[in-house]
Structure 1
Amino acid sequence: MTAHTLGRGWRLFAILVLGFASGLPLALTGQAMQAWLTVDGVDIATIGFFGLVGVPYTFKFLWAPLMDRFEPPLLGRRRGWLVVTQLALAALLWWMGSLSPSAAPELFAIAALLVAFLSASQDVVVDAYRTDLLPEEERGLGASVHVFAYRLAMITSGGIALIWAGQWQSWPRVYHSMAAIMLGCAVLSLLTLPRVASHLRALDSDPARELRGFVAMLAGLAVGYLAAHHLLKLAGLDPDDPNRWIQLLFVLMEIAAALPLAYLAARRAGFETLNRSLSSYFAQRGAAAFLALIILYKLGDAFAGSLTTPFLIKGMGFSQEEVGIANKVIGLWLTILGAFIGGLIMTRLALYRSLLLFGVLQLVSNFGFYLLAELGRGAWGAVDLPAFDWGIVALDRPTQLDGLLLTVIAGENISGGMGTVAFIALLMALCNQRFTATHYALLSAFAAVGRIYVSPLSGVLSASIGWPSFFLFSIVVAVPGVAMVWLQRDALAALGRPAVPAGADD
């Protein structure tokens, strides 16, 4: 075995570890957390608002330049930030598992928000580390390994977590187990990850001025938030109004006011790494239209998927184990299959045609949830699943999985995986190599807008109009994303056909 082969194996092992660590926290502040809230008796509208704990995924480009610019001592710039974020994630997941969402909802929400912040920060470093570590000829294979590990982690923290919760009758024990797994990832990162070369920073800027600019940006966020909050109160509105639409208005207006002021403050105070990277992105033709496309393309998927777990458990009456097996274990493997199929198709189709085709398939797949809500469980019979014991997860007795549920999950996950491949290819094509970490963080943050901000609206909407109408609405909101692809067809064609891995991270 040659030194080159050994080196490649070491690098791919590093990508495997980091892909798993990156995917593990997502469901723990998303679908798994929703299941815990549901069985703990939290109402559906409040569960929808808990989706806002994922807000850091949409803002991570604001602090990504700091992680690009500064280096923790001793461990190196990339590896240092990885170990720090993973150790902190392990500690926070343990703390979150010690709380009760029904007895202390505010404290539980703060813990979940901190987990999401650190998870988003880890994602920034993982993306940058993967780019720095892999030579050009290994990036396709490395991306595929990352996708596999990322989805495997989502199966662990999503599907297996639900099965454990049903068997152990203890969500705290599940979260403590996930904290131990994250601690293991931190140890592996510390002891086994290869160092990367100390590449030139995005800018050779004054560190003190960068920090002042970052603090000024945070001050701008706070001023914008408080200004919008108090203006709405002066208008006679109450942030604690039992009307969920009023609560949602406060959230959206506070964010709409905070972001522009944060940008202006960063610009005036000299947060140069952020300022130059944003200027670099917006200098390209059609930059704003591409951001609109990024937000809209997955919007229908985000609506349909935002409350899937509460819908299946509370709305349809499926057990936690059945949802865990069908939606989280089988479903995520089908997403990997969809990503693989999408990657093969994209070797034949250009980026524009792939985005259009997969966008239509995503739209059509949402109709399956409408059928499930209308026809109910048992409409298409059931599939027998024998007992099994895989060591980390077991089913102690044979059970039946609903036939319509499996069909809907298959359609949604395969089409979603295909759409994600084309979507990530678009993000890759839009990145300027000089500012890869910050650009990717910016674009992926915009990509998370739909997934995060539709959650409170989804909770209010589903409670107001019922599940069948809600899923029909998810089909309607998917149309603008497909239309935007068609309107941007010339600009998408001009991006060329970048290399696409057989999968994508969410």
Structure 2
Amino acid sequence: MTTRGKLGLLATLYLAQGLPFGFFTQALPVLMRKQGLSLPEIGFTHLLALPWALKFLWAPFVDRFGSAAFGRRRSWILPLQAVSILLVTGLALTDPRKGLALMMVAALLTNLVAATQDIPTDGLAVDLLSDRERGLGNGVQVAGYRVGMIIGGGFLLIVFDRAGWRVTFGAMAALLALATLPVALFRERPSAAKTKEEPPGALGWIDVLKRPRMPLWIGLIALYKAGDALASAMVKPLLVDRGMSLEDIGLLIGVVGFCAGLAGALLGGYSASRFGRKQALLGCGVLQMLAIAGYIAPAAGYGGNAALAVACTLEHLTGGMATVALFTLMMDACREQSGATDYTVQACVVVIATGAAAVGSGFVAENLGYARHFGLGALVSGAGVALAALAFARGLIPLSRSPEPAISN
């Protein structure tokens, strides 16, 4: 399969995950704030993403079993995609007067299905991408996911404001169906037994944690993205409190987020391939920290909506760069026969850390105020970069294979 074909397939799979997740995590806080709910209550909605934090428990089962004829990864991905489409279609056919409570139930079920689908999708990415393709591959994956989130959290928020419940979720179901076509046409090759390693058992995630140098790496992963999550969780409530309409917020997050997030993901992938994993992780991390600090001035009342737009642009740009740099190293740490489990355990650490930060963000913002809240987010982000520098200096990054060197002039 050509590199272009691999990237196109993975982009659509991650877009399909980001589409409903974007609506429930980006649009739902805006709708809740419009109805007068408090910041702590909005923060607690991030608990609906709990399946993403717990999927490591059933990842070994997904990694171990699958249809050889239908494809080890594809035999999981296609049925789960179909269930996602049915869930969203059912939501479009329900009574919209049930409002936020129904959306929260739908968010939890959709997250459960999408989180499970993410396990074989990550495994497929590990299987398909060569070492040299991983930087760009992770860039395209994150870009696809961000495009899905922007469509769900930006464009569909505008549709919701103008056309209502049924049209919004009908459109989401149609987009999910379109995104399923590439994997439906894809013919996965049978797994080649290149190593003597056995697929992971029921407690395979414990074996991942027992690997040498993994404890420090787990802490690094958790800290590296926690500051960004702490800060970004309160951006939407801040926009509402500054008097922006649903349409204005949708345009700001949608247009700015689409362009900057897409560019950031691709830049992060290019950086990892061009300059090497270490330089990409540290450099993108510093830029992410500075971008988070960029929210402090507009949060304190300086610069108005123009300053908020600039801060939003920089945060999406650098957040995409840092995420891809981190995910590329996470993929390098995966073993061949347990790629889905290895990657899922690391991804769950990211989800748990960022989810905990997001859940607590409402309390932090309410007690410290928006400006100090974003300042704290920048400090936490900086601590993650410092820990990464220490880990590289002491050779504590747990790579299963040495990535190919950066491209030289």
| Equivalent residue number for residue 55 of structure 1 | 50
Q: Match for 2:186 among 190, 193, 206?
A: 193
Structure 2: distance between partners of 1:145 and 1:42: 36
Q: Are the structure 2 counterparts of residues 142 and 370 from structure 1 closer, same or farther at C-alpha, using a change threshold of 3 Å? A: closer
Report the alpha carbon displacement of residue 297 of structure 1 after superposing the two structures with TM.
Answer: 0.5
Q: Match for 2:206 among 274, 278, 285?
A: 278
- Match runs of 1:9-158 below 5 Å: 11-71=6-66, 75-97=70-92, 103=98, 107-133=102-128, 142-158=137-153
Partner amino acid for 2:299? A
Q: Are the structure 2 counterparts of residues 323 and 164 from structure 1 closer, same or farther at C-alpha, using a change threshold of 3 Å? A: same
Structure 2: distance between partners of 1:166 and 1:70: 43
Partner amino acid for 2:260? L
Does structure 1 residue 183 correspond to structure 2 residue 109? no
Structure 2: runs of 5+ lacking an equivalent = none
Structure 1: distance between partners of 2:10 and 2:348: 22
Structure 1: distance between partners of 2:356 and 2:405: 28
Partner amino acid for 2:307? L
| Structure 1 residue ranges, 4+ long, deviating more than 6 angstroms after superposition | 99-102, 201-205
Q: Is the 8 A contact 2:334 2:343 kept in 1?
A: yes
Structure 1: distance between partners of 2:288 and 2:312: 12
TM-score by length of 1: 0.71
Q: Is the 8 A contact 2:43 2:362 kept in 1?
A: yes
Structure 2: distance between partners of 1:340 and 1:10: 17
Report the alpha carbon displacement of residue 331 of structure 1 after superposing the two structures with TM.
Answer: 2.0
CA-to-partner distance for each residue in 1:269-301, whole Å, 9 max, x for gaps?
A: xxx6143453255222x2101100000001110
Q: Match for 2:230 among 303, 314, 319?
A: 303
Partner amino acid for 1:197? P
Structure 2: distance between partners of 1:195 and 1:493: 31
Q: Match for 1:425 among 328, 346, 350?
A: 328
SS state at 2:244 partner: coil
Structure 2: distance between partners of 1:55 and 1:439: 19
- Match runs of 1:330-349 below 5 Å: 330-347=256-273, 349=275
Structure 2: distance between partners of 1:113 and 1:320: 23
- Is 69-78 or 325-334 further displaced after alignment? 69-78
Q: Is the 8 A contact 1:26 1:154 kept in 2?
A: yes
Structure 1: distance between partners of 2:179 and 2:76: 13
Partner amino acid for 1:451? T
Structure 2: distance between partners of 1:47 and 1:472: 20
Report the alpha carbon displacement of residue 501 of structure 1 after superposing the two structures with TM.
Answer: 11
Q: Are the structure 2 counterparts of residues 90 and 501 from structure 1 closer, same or farther at C-alpha, using a change threshold of 3 Å? A: farther
Greater relative contact order, per chain length (Cα 8 Å cut-off, separation 6+): 2
Q: Is the 8 A contact 1:432 1:439 kept in 2?
A: yes
Partner amino acid for 1:441? T
Report the alpha carbon displacement of residue 75 of structure 1 after superposing the two structures with TM.
Answer: 3.7
Partner amino acid for 2:188? R
Partner amino acid for 1:369? Y
Report the alpha carbon displacement of residue 118 of structure 1 after superposing the two structures with TM.
Answer: 1.0
| Equivalent residue number for residue 165 of structure 1 | 160
Q: Is the 8 A contact 1:141 1:501 kept in 2?
A: no
Structure 2: distance between partners of 1:123 and 1:202: 26
Structure 1: distance between partners of 2:125 and 2:115: 15
Q: Is the 8 A contact 1:140 1:501 kept in 2?
A: no
SS state at 2:300 partner: helix
Structure 1: distance between partners of 2:110 and 2:62: 18
Q: Are the structure 2 counterparts of residues 75 and 432 from structure 1 closer, same or farther at C-alpha, using a change threshold of 3 Å? A: closer
Q: Are the structure 2 counterparts of residues 197 and 322 from structure 1 closer, same or farther at C-alpha, using a change threshold of 3 Å? A: same
Does structure 1 residue 322 correspond to structure 2 residue 248? yes
Q: Are the structure 2 counterparts of residues 421 and 498 from structure 1 closer, same or farther at C-alpha, using a change threshold of 3 Å? A: farther
SS state at 1:115 partner: helix
Report the alpha carbon displacement of residue 57 of structure 1 after superposing the two structures with TM.
Answer: 1.2
Report the alpha carbon displacement of residue 438 of structure 1 after superposing the two structures with TM.
Answer: 0.2
Structure 1: distance between partners of 2:96 and 2:352: 25
Structure 2: distance between partners of 1:450 and 1:460: 16
Q: Is the 8 A contact 1:89 1:118 kept in 2?
A: yes
| Equivalent residue number for residue 491 of structure 1 | 395
Structure 1: distance between partners of 2:136 and 2:79: 27
Larger Rg: 1
Q: Is the 8 A contact 1:10 1:194 kept in 2?
A: no
Structure 2: distance between partners of 1:298 and 1:8: 29
| Equivalent residue number for residue 437 of structure 1 | 340
Structure 1: runs of 5+ lacking an equivalent = 206-271, 381-401
Report the alpha carbon displacement of residue 69 of structure 1 after superposing the two structures with TM.
Answer: 1.9
Report the alpha carbon displacement of residue 356 of structure 1 after superposing the two structures with TM.
Answer: 2.6
| Equivalent residue number for residue 294 of structure 1 | 221
Report the alpha carbon displacement of residue 363 of structure 1 after superposing the two structures with TM.
Answer: 1.6
Report the alpha carbon displacement of residue 155 of structure 1 after superposing the two structures with TM.
Answer: 2.4
SS state at 1:110 partner: helix
Report the alpha carbon displacement of residue 328 of structure 1 after superposing the two structures with TM.
Answer: 2.7
Report the alpha carbon displacement of residue 318 of structure 1 after superposing the two structures with TM.
Answer: 1.4
Structure 1: distance between partners of 2:98 and 2:84: 23
Q: Cα RMSD over matched residues? A: 3.2
Partner amino acid for 1:433? E
Structure 1: distance between partners of 2:319 and 2:386: 18
- Is 488-497 or 45-54 further displaced after alignment? 488-497
Q: Is the 8 A contact 1:22 1:119 kept in 2?
A: yes
Partner amino acid for 2:363? V
Report the alpha carbon displacement of residue 63 of structure 1 after superposing the two structures with TM.
Answer: 0.8
Percentage identity across aligned positions? 29
| Equivalent residue number for residue 370 of structure 2 | 467
TM-score by length of 2: 0.86
Report the alpha carbon displacement of residue 414 of structure 1 after superposing the two structures with TM.
Answer: 1.9
Report the alpha carbon displacement of residue 103 of structure 1 after superposing the two structures with TM.
Answer: 4.8
